[in-house]
Each structure stands twice: as C-alpha cells, then as structure tokens.
Amino acid sequence: MKYTKIPNTDIKVSKICLGSMTWGNQNTEAEGHVQLDYATDQGINFIDTAELYPVPATAEISGRTSKIIGTWLKKSGKRDQVVIASKIAGSGDYTAHIRTTGFSPNAIKEAIDLELKRLQTDYIDLYQLHWPERDTNRFGVRSFKLDTKWEDNFNEILHSLDKEIVTGRIRHIGISNENAWGTMRYLQESKSHSLPRVKTIQNAYSLLTRTFETDLAEVALRENVGLLAYSPMAFGVLSGKYITGNAEENARLKLFPRFARYSSEQATAAAKRYLKIAEENNLTLAQMSLAFVNQQPFVTSTIIGATNLEQLKENIGSVNVNLSGELLSQINTVHQELPNPAP
C-alpha cells in the first residue's frame, strides 16, 4: 500500500480509501466485515462513510452502513489503527427522513451525536459536509442557476464545527460535492476569523468526469486541499462489465437503473474507447481507470467500493499500477475528443 497525509495534518492515510455505501443494502453486515478485514490486511487504513448510507437512501436503512462499521470496530479492536471519515447530509427532498434543518448548529451537533453512537467511537477523524446547502450545480448538474433564497452561513457552519473540534468529537473537517467558489469561501472564512480550515474535498472524479480539473484542481493544489475522489469507477461503468454484458444481477445499475449519470450514449462511447486502450496495454479497464485517478497530483486518496472480494482485490491492486506517459497520452486523446461525457 502507498500512503499520503491529509493536507495540513499529521494523519497518514492510505492512497486507497475504502468506501462503504453498499453495506446494509447491496451487502450484508457480514460481507462488510469481510471487506474491512481484507482491506485492512492489505494496508488500507482509511474508511469513508456517511449518515445517509447505504444508498439509495431510505428512512428504513439510513445510518445502517455506519452501524456495520461500528460493530466491526468493536469486534476488531482496530479503532486506533484506522482513519474514519463521515458526512452530515445536506438539505434536500431525499434527506427529509434524516432532518430538514440543513447545517444549523443543532443539526451538526445532532448528526455527530448519532454518528458517534452508530460507529461506536468517541471521535471522527474527518467530518465532511456531504453537499452544499445552497442549490448549485452538484451531483452532475451541468447548468447553473443562482439560488437567491439561500443566505450565506459559511461562518456559522465553521463556528459549529469548531465547537466539535474543541470537544474532541471530530478532528478535522472537509467538504463534498462543492465547487470552486464554495471552497474558497470556506478558506476565506477560516483565514479571516481563525476558524477550522477545510482539509479535503470529496468530489466525483474519473475518466468520464474530469470536471474537477477545470477549476478545482488549481484550488486544491494552490490551497493544499486534498481531493478524495469518489466514483472513480463511474458506478461500475469503468469496470467494463456493462459494456461486455458481464454485469451480475446485483450490480448497481441493474438494481437501481435510475443511477444513469454515467450511462449516456457519449459516456458509453468513451468507456468503450478506454476499454480498448486498457486491453491494448494488458490492463483491465478497472486497473487503468483507478490508476489514472491515483496518479493525479491533487488526489489525496481514491475512494473505492466493491460488492464482492474479487472486485475489492482488483481495485486495491490498482495502487501498484503505473501508467506510462504514452498511455496517458492515449487517454487524453479520448478526453479531448469526448470531454467529460458524464457531468
């Protein structure tokens, strides 16, 4: 395993982060525990969850993923050997079953109270805002419309998180599904008012979604905010299994066809071309896709997810794959001709 540090901290994390959002829905508790055992045996020490998980989110199963991690932490006794990242859900119709108060001071306190109980721990290493409260172009929305109803509350949010850091219940903070303006506003508030500084940003990034490079990559590198890249496999599209027709019946897009963000005609065309490049270079598409993300200078850790051990083994093994300059040039040729087919 390769390691790096969460920016501006002394916390060492594996370059591969174990995602968990299938546990409690597509995967059982026992399967989640097996994945955790295998991943930590391979040197992974970074685990990502959220109060929203598993997905698709419903009132009946909300928080179940973190409970699975909590029972594993209690059983394994490895709390001091792993770095736990979690998230508070933002506002939205699909999170009304959790709460409707956004990132208010009481909401942040309540969310952390409940998550600590689920995880059976006294602290969370990295606590993230799952998406902005304001209505902006998140979750693959390409167009932009100014939200005139939202009132600026960056300062209030940071004050609330600061209180939790002081008590020791969270150690550091991050953001997720954020854009360049929101990231810089958080950094501005922390600098101007001596408030906690955002250390990471968790956004989608893959061969099919490289929009992070248009503005946020420069912010990440110049401001030292590390990307935790999620969906590096584009909901499994970049495994090649949907292209070749080898997807199992419990594959995400078969179970939940509404998750079609990476399944457009353009995205499929790009994925087919990437598959050809991988095969010509004696790699699987999954290995090439993950290695591409791992090698980016603005990426702190790549969040992988798997529904079985074979997938998990292949995904973790990508950390040892190095893409040559020639292969990267081939990838960039496709990107120039089919740029960001999935937003």
User: Is there a catalytic annotation at residue 242?
Assistant: no
| pTM of the model as a whole | 0.95
- 84, HSE (Cβ side, Cα atoms, 13 Å): 29
Assign 246 a pLDDT band (cuts: 50, 70, 90): low
Assign 258 a pLDDT band (cuts: 50, 70, 90): low
Tell me the pLDDT tens digit for each residue of 157-198.
999 999 999 999 999 999 999 999 999 999 999 999 999 999
Work out the number of other CB atoms within 10 angstroms of the CB of residue 335.
18
Residues β-bridged to residue 48: 19, 85
Tell me the pLDDT tens digit for each residue of 275-285.
999 999 999 99
Structural domains of the chain, ranges and CATH numbers in brackets? 3-337 (3.20.20.100)
Residue 255, pLDDT score: 52
Sorted by sequence, the CB contacts under 8 Å of residue 190 that are 6+ apart come out as 158, 196, 197, 198
Residues β-bridged to residue 301: 228
Buried b (16+ CB within 10 A) or exposed e, 15-54: bbbbbbbbbbbbbebebbbbbbebbbebebbbbbbbbbbb
Residue 256, pLDDT score: 57
Sorted by sequence, the CB contacts under 8 Å of residue 305 that are 6+ apart come out as 18, 19, 20, 21, 22, 233
- State the DSSP string of 120-171: TSS-EEEEEESS-SS--S-TT--S----SS----HHHHHHHHHHHHHHTSEE
Choosing from 3, 38, 53, 127, the catalytic residue is 53
Mean pLDDT computed over every residue of the chain: 94
Residue 168, pLDDT score: 98
Return the minimum-mean-pLDDT range out of 37-41, 258-262, 293-297, 319-323: 258-262
